[in-house]
Amino acid sequence: METTTGIPPWPSAEPQYANVRLRAFRDTDVGMAMELAQDKYVPTVGSLPARASHGQALEWLEQQRQRHAAGTGFSFAVADAETDRCVGQIGLWGWELQHGRAQAGYGIMPTARGHRFAANALRALLEFAWTIPELHRVEAYIEPWNTASIRSAELAGFAQEGLLRSYMEISGQRRDLLIYGAVRGHEG
């Protein structure tokens, strides 16, 4: 079943895996957004302004909530399954449902790193992705230096498929990106 924007419905049950639950963002997650905006890398690859103010962070949370209604993808708060505290963000984007694929993107706030939240959020995201019958492939694009992200993708069952040379500009420089893929029916 599709919405009027052509994107599948928001999940009726919150996707969960191990220590992670994926839920909609709330204004009370503003502290997470402000902390994530302090990260040197996150603002260079997404829409969160560097060193976002309280107001900018609230605006960013509202943008995340609007993404599904706009048909551009799913942006989930990564919540600690035990406390419900928001520790990061994960999205399923680049909606190419006619080709059966979408992209994953994620970030965990610096003080919550080291607990495999990203790997487990990816697992939960994939479990949700495979409930969408048209979807067969989820991709992640990762810079070769980003060991924490590579390890997270691999822990979640993504496989490295190749190096996309000079794939995009990040912070004014052409960058190579590794492409990782997870494929329905080949769960790791």
Identify the H or E element spanning 139: strand 137-142
- Binding residue for ligand COA (CB under 6 A) from 7, 37, 152, 183? 152
Q: Which stretch binds ligand COA (CB under 6 A): 27-35, 53-61, 95-103, 110-118?
A: 110-118
Judged by CB under 6 A, does residue 90 bind ligand COA? no
A 10 A CB-CB count for 166 gives 10
Instruction: Give the x/- contact pattern for ligand COA in 2-41, rule: CB under 6 A.
Output: -------------------------------------x-x
- As a whole number of angstroms, the longest Cα–Cα distance in the chain is 43
Judged by CB under 6 A, does residue 114 bind ligand COA? yes
Shortest distance, position 142 Cβ to ligand COA, whole Å: 4
Start-end of H helices in 71-167: 117-129, 147-155
Among 103, 100, 186, CA closest to 135: 100
Q: Which stretch binds ligand COA (CB under 6 A): 8-16, 62-70, 91-99, 145-153?
A: 145-153
Shortest distance, position 103 Cβ to ligand COA, whole Å: 10
User: How far lies 37's CA from each of 18, 106, 183, in Å?
Assistant: 26, 13, 31
Beta strands 137-142 and 101-108, pairing class: parallel
Q: What is the DSSP letter of 27?
A: G
Q: Tokens representing 182?
A: 């997870």
Judged by CB under 6 A, does residue 108 bind ligand COA? yes
Q: Which stretch binds ligand COA (CB under 6 A): 13-21, 131-139, 143-151, 158-166?
A: 143-151
For residues 86, 34, 48, 2, the Cα torsion angle rounded to the nearest 10 degrees is 20
- Binding residue for ligand COA (CB under 6 A) from 148, 159, 168, 170? 148
Judged by CB under 6 A, does residue 142 bind ligand COA? yes
Q: Tokens representing 82?
A: 């035990």
Which residue ranges make up the site for ligand COA (CB under 6 A)? 39, 41-42, 106-108, 113-119, 142, 146-149, 151-152
